Amino acid sequence: MTEQPQPTFPPPGAAPVLRVGVLGSGTVGTQVVRLLLEQADDFAARSGARMEITGIAVRNLDAPRDPAVPRELLTDDATAVATGNDLVVELIGGIEPARTLILAAFKAGASVITGNKALIAAHGPELYDAAAAAGTDFYYEAAVAGAVPVVYALRESMAGDRVTSVLGIVNGTTNYILDEMSTKGLSFDEVLATAQALGYAEADPTADVDGLDAAAKAAIIASLAFHTRVGLSDVQVEGIRSVTADDIREAHASGCELKLLAIAQRREDEHAHGVSVRVHPALVPADHPLASVHGAYNAVLVEAESAGRLMFYGQGAGGAPTASAVLSDVVAAAAHRVNGGQAPRESSYARLPILGPEAAVTRYQIQLRVEDAAGSLAAMAGVFADNEVSINSVRQSAYVTSDGAAVVTFVTHPAPVFHLDAAVEGLRASDRVMEVVSVRRVEGQ
């Protein structure tokens, strides 16, 4: 058996040394530090530079730490870490002091790597401009979908194509909750409690279950996909608190799964021109790729004119997966320091208008309690026709409720939301309709 050659690494001192500062030592920061130390030779070979961690900024020096984090590197002087290194890794999260520290790092000439989606969604243009003014790199792969390389794909791999839509599951906590409700028949509150016990959900789950985390990611995705500045306030958001076990059962009866989706669409038709960005629960047909994304996984489906459909799938959260994305950016930034070159700058040349929620194109599933009498279906079909909405399917339950109502479920063809909403209001006003039980969007066809 032929002996395989062993990999060779540059000997210590053969490669230039880059100083690395880490802001934050939580779950992700701990993994970043551990891997940088344990695999120092590999990272030197990949980037052309040896990376030396000079400081790890934390709020509380005395808090318990993972043994992987050398205590001698800990400091509570975050400004010194931000301004005294070649590469700065920001993993604090939130808006402040992260924003101030990143701007200070750029002013000091450092390249910055972050996973802070809330900050980028709120202050992205300011940060892009600061990086450009300093001539340094700004990387943020870990800000969207953890280890899934969505940012790289949109910012670099798709630069030669024209993206038309992005549809994704970008929050692992909500996908876990909806998946458990779907497979085990549990209520939202039951699954949320389990998710908190397992560490999937925070003690305050607002950012996840109200869709705010997904909305920040959707803003970043849309900005990259459509070369247009999209902020958090431009995203229409609905969370999953209102989802019930009945909603899940009705989805299954329609051959669908219920998912929290981030959706970014480019519209150029007779009704609208611009970008629509939204986050909301939606029914996804069981044969659609996103319907089979289970647990806390993330998946993003990109549609482009030349490439067609591309899907990215993987772990969207957790220390090690997110650290993987951070370190890919660290290697790229270090290589630029050694060999020249720079990260892609912000591309916002298209300046497409941001469309309101009424301009989105989608399908609705509408469940009604109606008068169980001849002519009821014809009357409801007339309401849809009057509002320029085409019906895809109709399903009537085999039973009649105690008050003599029939339960009917309509699924529409795609239509602008303002037409769909008008049809729903028309149904509410109809003498034949006793109750509009639920209205859910249907995506993925």
3-class SS shares of the chain: helix, strand, coil, % to 5:
40, 25, 35
Is 23 known to sit in a ligand binding site?
yes
Rounded distance between C-alpha atoms, residue 408 and residue 401, angstroms: 11
Query: Where do runs of H (alpha helix) occur along 254-369?
Result: 319-339
CA-CA-CA-CA dihedral for 54, 55, 56, 60, to nearest 10: 160
| 107 marked among binding-site residues | no
Q: What is the DSSP letter of 143?
A: G
- Residue 29 marked in a binding site: yes
What is the Cα–Cα distance from 24 to 81, expressed in whole angstroms?
11
Q: How far is CA 369 from the centre of its chain?
A: 36
- Contact yes or no for 170/222 (Cβ under 8 A): no
Please report where in the chains the tokens 């900050």 appear, as a residue. Answer: 119
Virtual torsion, Cα 320, 326, 328, 329, nearest 10 deg: 180
Q: Does residue 296 contact residue 167 with C-beta atoms inside 8 Å?
A: no
Q: Which one of 107, 184, 217, 259 is the catalytic residue?
A: 217
Q: Is the dihedral of CA 412, 414, 417, 419 positive or negative?
A: negative
Q: Around Cβ 352, how many Cβ atoms within 10 Å?
A: 18
- List strand residue ranges (DSSP E) for 74-142, in order: 74-75, 87-90, 111-114, 138-139
217 is catalytic: yes
Cβ distance 58 to 76 under 8 Å? Answer: yes
Structure tokens at 255: 């051959």
Beta strands of 269-374 (E only): which ranges? 273-285, 297-304, 308-315, 361-371
Specify whether the CB–CB gap between 220 and 117 falls below 8 A: yes
- CB distance 171 to 215 below 8 Å: no
Q: Is 30 annotated as a binding residue?
A: yes
Ligand-binding annotation for 27, yes or no, is yes
> 25 among the known binding-site residues?
yes
Q: Is 117 annotated as a binding residue?
A: yes
Q: Which residues are annotated as a binding site for NADP(+)?
A: 23-30
Q: Which residues are annotated as a binding site for L-homoserine?
A: 202
Catalytic residues: 217
Q: Which residues are annotated as a binding site for NADPH?
A: 117
Q: Which residues are annotated as a binding site?
A: 23-30, 117, 202
